[in-house]
Structure 1
Amino acid sequence: MLTKKQLDLLEFIHKRVQRDGVPPSFDEMKAALDLRSKSGIHRLITGLEERGFIRRLAHRARAIEVVRLPESLGGEPTTGFSPRVIQGDKPSGARPANTNSVTASAVDLPMMGRIAAGVPIEAISHVENQVAVPSQMLSSSGDHYALEVRGDSMIDAGINDGDVVVIRETAAADDGDIVVALVEDHEATLKRFFRRSGAIALEAANPAYETRVLPEHKVKVQGKLVGLIRTY
């Protein structure tokens, strides 16, 4: 999964290669993405290379080859989790208190507050308001709720600061699932879930954050991610 900046850069490189037969210079990339320094472009290029979207060729100027494209740019589908994203306006206020009422193929879910995609924050247990979610985003069984994401530790999974994640309530998870995890009964966080020899690893989708490995009894799964809503 790519961040927005990585996707923008990949699209810019791809279009320039198609038009000119050679990739753009780092200065052109920096200007196109409105970045202040080339170091930011270096980080984006490295991220694209690590994820297998581009390849840098040694001993050649502007030696960047586009290996593959994501689906959003016309590439072939890939396996793994890909959040279903609904883009729209932020709600201006609380919605009616009729949780799970269906109107025009939308379901009102309780907005339970904020969840940390970064350092865990205090556990969330109260309803702040309601948010309308397309019914097709929800699983056929189980209750659902919504949380507003705070932090950037899941950006490589396509989950940005300020997104609203849609969660299906469950206490079970498989390796690789993105879950709401309750840590030591008082901290809640959004991370990928893995079992490791009697312990639980909560893994970020951002190399700037370390994986937390905790005894199994200190981690309780509160739900699994089924989609997200991006607001502007």
Structure 2
Amino acid sequence: MLTRKQRDLLAFIHKRVQRDGVPPSFDEMKDALDLRSKSGIHRLITALEERGFIRRLAHRARAIEIIRLPEDLAASGGFVPRVIEGDGPAPRAPATARTVQVDAIELPLMGRIAAGVPIEAISEVENHVAVPGQMLDRGGEHYALEVRGDSMIDAGINDGDVVVIREQDAADNGDIIVALVEGHEATLKRYRRQNGMIALEAANPAYETRLLREDQIRVQGRLVGLIRSY
């Protein structure tokens, strides 16, 4: 059973690929579903994969294959599995799949970020990671961090994932951000203003929301993408 948003995304991708022969961009998917950020699209794509409607391709940045449709969509005719943009490696695609090439950009992997109890901030570059260009916001600087912990698991962010962060020093309510707490602890949480305080919300009921003064927190970036290895 698909949620309405999952079905709408699958239908939109299918329609565009059948019409144009190429997939829509993440920005086009976001606009079509009236979502605020591309991270919502990443969560929907992950859900579609888990339900067996799509499959991510091995060694292809942001490439997945549509492998089936719900009966009502398939009945509209003409369904042939095609490759569309995705966000990570997966099992090898069948020979009939069509691959869409996407430019990749190397970002500095700055270390690990806690999705749990905050850890010390890590600012030195440990490595570099190739990220699809369409995952990035235009006109901004980006970096990557490896996630440690499970406090954001209900937002689709798992231990071991690599998150792509756009550098910025401000955030809107609901954004998932990298927050520097009291100058030395870095954590990945959802940002909200609440009664003159800043709430850092987990996406796991096992973790409590932290309420801090504005002067205790410095926003260091906003989540724009996620890479998962299998």
TM-score in terms of structure 2 length: 0.61
Which portions of structure 1, spanning 4 or more consecutive aligned residues, are displaced by more than 3 angstroms?
Answer: 72-81
Paired position in structure 1 for 2:6: 71
Over 3 Å counting, the alpha-carbon distance change for 1:172 and 1:115 in structure 2 is same
Quote the Cα distance in structure 1 between the aligned partners of 2:135 and 2:189: 20
State whether residues 156 and 206 of structure 1, in contact with CA within 8 Å, keep that contact through their aligned partners in structure 2.
yes
SS in 2 for 1:71: helix
Equivalent position amino acid for 2:166 in 1: R
1:65 matched residue in structure 2 = none
**Aligned residue number for residue 86 of structure 1:** 87
- Structure 2 residue aligned with 1:130: 128
Q: From the superposition, tell whether residues 140 and 73 of structure 1 become closer, same or farther in structure 2 (CA, over 3 Å).
A: closer
Residues 114 and 149, structure 2, Cα contact 8 Å, conserved in 1: yes
Flag the structure with larger Rg.
1
Give the Cα–Cα distance (whole angstroms) in 2 for the partners of residues 107 and 214 of structure 1.
35
Please identify, of 189-198 and 114-123, the stretch whose mean Cα deviation from structure 2 is larger: 189-198
- Give unpaired runs (5+ residues) of structure 1: 1-13, 15-52, 54-67, 90-102
Offset at residue 114 of structure 1 (A): 0.4
CA contact (8 A) 1:179 1:222 kept: yes
Letter in 2 for 1:150: R
Q: Is the 8 A contact 1:179 1:221 kept in 2?
A: yes
| Aligned length in residues | 154
Residues in 2 aligned to 1:71 and 1:104: alpha-carbon distance in whole angstroms: 23
Give the match's secondary structure for 2:88.
strand
Deviation at 1:69, TM superposition (A): 5.3
1:173 matched to 2:171:
yes
Is the CA contact 1:83–1:158 (under 8 Å) kept in the aligned structure 2?
no
Correspondence for 1:225: 223
- Give 2:119's aligned residue: 121
Separation of aligned partners in 2, 1:69 and 1:162 = 29
Q: What SS class does the counterpart of residue 145 from structure 1 fall into?
A: strand
Structure 2 unaligned blocks of 5 or more: 12-32, 43-85, 91-100
Partner residue of 1:206?
A: 204
Of stretches 190-199 and 143-152 in structure 1, the one that deviates more from structure 2 is 190-199
With structure 1 as the length reference, what TM-score do the two structures score?
Answer: 0.61
Output the amino acid matched with 1:188.
Answer: A
With over 3 angstroms needed to count, the CA separation of the structure-2 counterparts of 1:222 and 1:70, relative to structure 1, is: same
RMSD of aligned residue pairs (Cα, Å) = 2.4
Counterpart of 1:174 in structure 2: which amino acid? D
Percent identity of paired positions between Structure 1 and Structure 2: 64
Distance 1:222 1:116, change over 3 A: same
